[in-house]
Structure 1
Amino acid sequence: MEVGSGTRALVTGASSGIGRALAHTLAARGARVGLAARSAPELERLAAELPGLAGGHHALPCDVSERSQVEAAVERFVAATGGIDLVVANAGIAHYGPFRELSPERIEQMTAVNWLGTVWTVRAALEPMVAAGRGHVVIVSSGAGQRAFPDAAVYGATKAAQRAFGEALRHELAGTGVSLTVAFPGEIATALHDHEKARMPAWYRGDARAASPDALADAILAAVAADRRTVAFPRLVGLLGVANGISPRFADAILRRLRGPSAAPRRD
């Protein structure tokens, strides 16, 4: 599906990071963008600054972990635009640290936002898409969904859940006119970890060497246009996923070489 003038696209987690970059890229291509996140003031400011006709973009404040709020946001967008052509389930949060030290509240929050937030977003958007016989779903997982890392066990689990969900759902949608792509970003220059920078693990490289969210947005929309199953960005993320699928021990050896022993401390 080519994104262009008239495309109706809804993005969750739109107020910052990857979601914000996607919103700008979509608007620059002529799309009418639905902006979903928790902060209404931030969404209103973003809607006003995006290129396109005044009033063409829609702030849809909601908490994706609450099913009723997501359903209401999708309904508002469809009512305002007449339908939905593209939905990007991007909202996510991260809390790193040893599993035994994570509070139950943080475990539940990541599960509710990253995993259930994806399910509720896709579930709400699919109904009008399937009814129209066209559309595309993007699920923004993570490189951690292909190979999880120490100190990110719960985060990686939520991202792997997204991957498995997308793999199966793409097949279920065969013949409906709706397709699906799962994105696997690596370390992207966003504010995802701003609240925990002081305790990030040694293998983490999400500083000045992180990839551009704008380049990721372009890669995602190129994958949508080509109807690709997956898109990994940067390319090394995809190669790591292949290596881990062939031999986790081999992938561990690569990671120890690239990121040091903290990325794979066990050698069995």
Structure 2
Amino acid sequence: MKIEPGTCALVTGASSGIGRAIAEALARRGAQVGLLARSLRELEALADALPGRHVALPCDVGDAAAVQAATDRFAAEAGGLDLVVANAGLTHYRTVAEQPLAEVEQMTRVNWLGTVYTVHAALPHLLAAHRGHIVVVSSGAGLRSFPAAAAYGATKAAQRGYSTALRHELAHTGVSVTTVYPGEIATALHDHERDRMPPWYRAKDARPATTLATKILKAVEHDRRELYHPPEVRLLGIVNGISPKLADRMLHRLRGASAAPRLD
């Protein structure tokens, strides 16, 4: 699909990070954006700062009814729905033995079920129009999960399986799907846990969210099945798919022992 003036796009997790960068890139292209996140004040400030007219949609993506209401409201106010970006997500990096179940449940509700609720709410609008595109922002952790990020990686792997099957289910409907696998991106995602990030995490290698947003819009317009950014993320997925042991050895060498403590 072509992103142009008049395109109606819904973005979850729009108030910061990757979601905000996507919303800004869409607005620069003339799209009308439904900005969905929890904070009304932040969304209204963003809507005012963007060129064009946009809709602030305060909503918890972990609440199915709220997501449905926000999606329907945006489609009604914008006059349709063309593009949906399921981006909302959060992290809690801890070992399985140390992690409270409440953190696992929160990541499951936001990262995984938030994606399900978003697609469930948006899909009838897209199918009725016989056109449109869905973007699911997963993670490189969905290809190979890392120590201290088991639950987070599991939610991202769930997104991967879901979006891969969905793309095939939507064949011949006019609606398509792109799954995005970012590596380390410069956002506030880990601000609440900087003091306990594992040694394998490399904040200095984080790429700008604006670059990823530009690549996502290009991937939509070219109907790409998947987007890996940076490209090394794709290599990780390929190697891990062929030989997890080889991927472990590669990561052990590149990221240190904390990325793969067991090589047997």
TM-score of the two chains, using structure 1 as the length reference = 0.98
Partner residue in 2 for 1:186: 183
Indicate yes or no: 2:149 matched with 1:168: no
The one of 114, 125, 141 equivalent to 1:117 is: 114
The one of 249, 256, 259 equivalent to 1:260 is: 256
Partner residue in 2 for 1:223: 219
Indicate yes or no: 2:158 matched with 1:142: no
CA distance in 1, matches of 2:252, 2:3: 40
CA RMSD across the alignment: 0.6
Q: How much has 1:4 moved relative to structure 2?
A: 1.1
What SS class does the counterpart of residue 205 from structure 2 fall into?
A: coil
Indicate yes or no: 2:90 matched with 1:63: no
What SS class does the counterpart of residue 206 from structure 2 fall into?
A: coil
What SS class does the counterpart of residue 139 from structure 1 fall into?
A: strand
Q: How much has 1:209 moved relative to structure 2?
A: 2.2
Q: Percent identity at matched positions?
A: 63
What SS class does the counterpart of residue 107 from structure 1 fall into?
A: helix
Indicate yes or no: 2:20 matched with 1:20: yes
- The AA in structure 2 aligned to 1:18 is I
Partner residue in 2 for 1:36: 36
What SS class does the counterpart of residue 100 from structure 1 fall into?
A: coil
Q: How much has 1:148 moved relative to structure 2?
A: 0.4
Partner residue in 1 for 2:228: 232
For structure 1, list consecutive stretches of 5 or more residues without a partner in the other structure: none
CA distance in 2, matches of 1:16, 1:163: 23
CA distance in 1, matches of 2:10, 2:170: 19
For structure 2, list consecutive stretches of 5 or more residues without a partner in the other structure: none
Q: How does 1:206-221 map to 2 (within 5 A)?
A: 207-221=203-217
The one of 124, 131, 138 equivalent to 1:127 is: 124
TM-score of the two chains, using structure 2 as the length reference = 0.99
What SS class does the counterpart of residue 181 from structure 1 fall into?
A: strand
Partner residue in 2 for 1:2: 2
What SS class does the counterpart of residue 185 from structure 2 fall into?
A: coil
Partner residue in 1 for 2:246: 250
Indicate yes or no: 2:105 matched with 1:108: yes
- Aligned length in residues: 264
What's the CA shift string for 1:47-67, capped at 9, x where partnerless?
000112xxx100000000000
- The AA in structure 1 aligned to 2:206 is A
CA distance in 1, matches of 2:62, 2:139: 19
Partner residue in 1 for 2:47: 47
- The AA in structure 1 aligned to 2:179 is V
The one of 128, 151, 158 equivalent to 2:155 is: 158
Greater Cα offset, 110-119 or 1-10? 1-10
CA distance in 2, matches of 1:39, 1:244: 38
- The AA in structure 1 aligned to 2:239 is A
What SS class does the counterpart of residue 191 from structure 1 fall into?
A: coil
Q: How much has 1:208 moved relative to structure 2?
A: 3.1
What SS class does the counterpart of residue 186 from structure 2 fall into?
A: coil
